[in-house]
């Protein structure tokens, strides 16, 4: 295994002690990103929302504050599932938050289940971006929105979103803390 892969692995496939530390680090200072997500989604207060790759669960917490609808998530890491469930224990017990162990490419939810979906800094960790976006398109209702926050350029993602069944694609480069990110928003086209 290359040194770069060893250094990145705790953040892309969190497990063990290194994964728990990575989750703790991911949660620190995430408030500006979570506020950006809430602002860009512009939730009316009753939407059902999915986060793909919820990590330590801080965005799940913010989404649960922004909507009275169901907030669900999928993440492939048992370590992140444990942290997110601990962070959102009351909401999970009440059924308002539903967190599951699954990769983006195999979301364990029925078709057209959500009004919107969000993925923050996780797209680059998916095994297949095209398959992950196709799954998001499957679980988002027609007319529903997707928001992807990535650290890279949005160029190749836009085409993949259109191919997956999204339209009205908009990109922006908001500042989060001292770093610019790419924010990609789109609407699910009717089948």
Mean pLDDT of all residues belonging to the chain: 86
pLDDT digits (tens, 9 = 90+) for 20-50: 444 444 444 566 788 899 899 999 889 999 9
Q: How far is the first Cα of the chain from the last one, in angstroms, to the nearest whole number?
A: 43
Report CA-CA distances (Å) from 148 to 18, 173, 179.
Answer: 26, 12, 16
Structure tokens at 47: 């939407």
Q: Rounded distance, CA 119 to CA 121, Å?
A: 6
Q: Rounded distance, CA 184 to CA 147, Å?
A: 6
How would you label 119-131 residue by residue, b for 16+ Cβ within 10 Å and e otherwise?
Answer: bbbbbebbeebeb
Residue range 153-168: mean pLDDT, rounded: 91
Find the range with the poorest average confidence among 57-71, 112-126, 149-163. 149-163
Q: Determine the pLDDT at residue 13.
A: 56
Q: Select from 3.40.50.12500, 3.40.50.150, 3.40.720.10, 3.40.50.10470 the CATH code of 29-188.
A: 3.40.50.150
Helical residues (DSSP H) of the chain, grouped into ranges: 3-12, 16-27, 31-41, 58-66, 78-87, 89-94, 129-139, 155-164
């Amino acid at each position: 295994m290359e040194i770069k892969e060893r250094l990145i692995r705790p953040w892309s496939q969190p497990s063990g002690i290194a994964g728990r530390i990575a989750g703790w680090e991911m949660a620190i200072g995430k408030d500006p990103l979570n506020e950006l997500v809430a602002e860009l989604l512009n939730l009316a207060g009753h939407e059902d929302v999915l986060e793909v790759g919820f990590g330590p669960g801080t965005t799940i917490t913010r989404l649960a504050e922004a909507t009275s609808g169901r907030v669900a998530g999928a993440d492939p890491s048992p370590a992140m599932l444990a942290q997110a469930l601990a962070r959102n224990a009351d909401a999970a017990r009440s059924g308002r938050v539903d967190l599951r162990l699954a990769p983006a490419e195999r979301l364990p939810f029925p078709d057209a289940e959500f009004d919107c979906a969000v993925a923050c800094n996780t797209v680059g960790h998916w095994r297949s971006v095209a398959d992950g976006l196709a799954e998001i398109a499957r679980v988002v209702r027609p007319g529903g929105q997707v928001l992807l926050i990535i650290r890279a350029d949005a160029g190749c993602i836009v085409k993949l979103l259109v191919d997956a069944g999204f339209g009205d694609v908009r990109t922006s480069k908001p500042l989060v803390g001292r770093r610019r990110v790419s924010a990609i928003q789109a609407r699910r086209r009717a089948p």
